[in-house]
C-alpha cells in the first residue's frame, strides 16, 4: 500500500469519528502525508488544534478552486496554508497554547545561530521564501533550517513555529 502524498480531510464524519481523530491517526500511520483540513467551520481554535496535530493546511469549503489547488501544491512542498481570514486568529490561538517560556536561553541553546535567525524571522511574519531571500540562501537551504528547528523544538508546522517565536521573543 502506497502512502498518500496529500489528503483533503473534512471534520464532520459519519460513524462517530471526527476529522481530528482521523488527522491524528494519519499523522501516526503516514507522517509524510500532507493533510489539508477542508471544513465549513471557520473556528480558529479548531484550526489551531488541527495544525498542532500536524495538518499542513486549514481551509474553508467556500474557498475558490484556485486557492485549493495552490494549497495542495504548497502543502505538498512542506508549507503551511491557512484561510486568509483565519491567519491572525489562529496565530493568537497557537500562541496562547504554547508552553510557557521559562528560559529563552535554554530554548535558543538548542538551535544553531542560523536556526535562531530563521526562528526570529518566522516570528516577524516572513515566509520561507522571504527568509531565503533575506539570508541569501536557496529556498532548499531555508527549508532545511526550518525543518531542523521544528524537530529540535518539537513543533509541527511553520505556522506553529511563527507563533512560538512571537511568544518566545516577546518574553526575552
Closest CA to 19 of 76, 57, 66: 57
Q: With 70 as the cut, is the pLDDT of residue 97 above it?
A: no
Q: Judge whether 107 and 101 are in contact, CB under 8 Å.
A: yes
Q: What is the pLDDT of residues 56-95, one digit of tens each?
A: 999 999 999 999 999 999 998 888 899 988 888 888 777 6
- pLDDT score at 85: 87
Q: How far apart are CA 81 and CA 93, in angstroms?
A: 16
Q: What is the pLDDT of residues 130-161, one digit of tens each?
A: 999 999 999 999 999 998 998 888 888 888 89
Q: What is the pLDDT of residues 30-44, one digit of tens each?
A: 878 899 999 887 888
Query: What is the pTM for the complete model shown?
Result: 0.58
Amino acid at each position: 500500500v502506497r502512502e498518500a502524498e496529500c489528503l483533503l480531510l473534512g471534520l464532520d464524519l459519519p460513524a462517530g469519528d471526527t476529522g481530528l481523530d482521523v488527522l491524528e491517526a494519519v499523522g501516526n500511520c503516514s507522517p509524510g502525508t500532507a493533510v489539508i483540513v477542508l471544513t465549513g467551520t471557520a473556528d480558529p481554535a479548531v484550526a489551531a488544534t488541527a495544525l498542532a496535530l500536524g495538518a499542513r493546511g486549514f481551509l474553508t469549503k467556500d474557498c475558490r478552486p484556485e486557492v485549493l489547488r495552490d494549497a495542495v501544491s504548497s502543502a505538498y512542498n512542506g508549507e503551511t496554508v491557512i484561510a486568509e481570514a483565519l491567519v491572525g486568529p489562529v496565530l493568537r490561538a497557537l500562541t496562547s497554547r504554547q508552553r510557557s517560556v521559562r528560559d529563552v536561553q535554554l530554548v535558543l541553546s538548542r538551535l544553531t545561530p542560523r536556526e535562531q535567525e530563521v526562528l526570529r524571522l518566522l516570528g516577524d511574519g516572513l515566509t520561507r521564501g522571504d527568509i531565503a531571500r533575506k539570508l541569501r540562501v536557496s529556498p532548499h537551504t531555508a527549508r532545511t533550517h526550518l525543518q531542523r528547528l521544528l524537530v529540535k523544538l518539537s513543533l509541527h508546522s511553520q505556522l506553529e513555529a511563527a507563533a512560538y517565536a512571537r511568544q518566545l521573543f516577546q518574553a526575552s
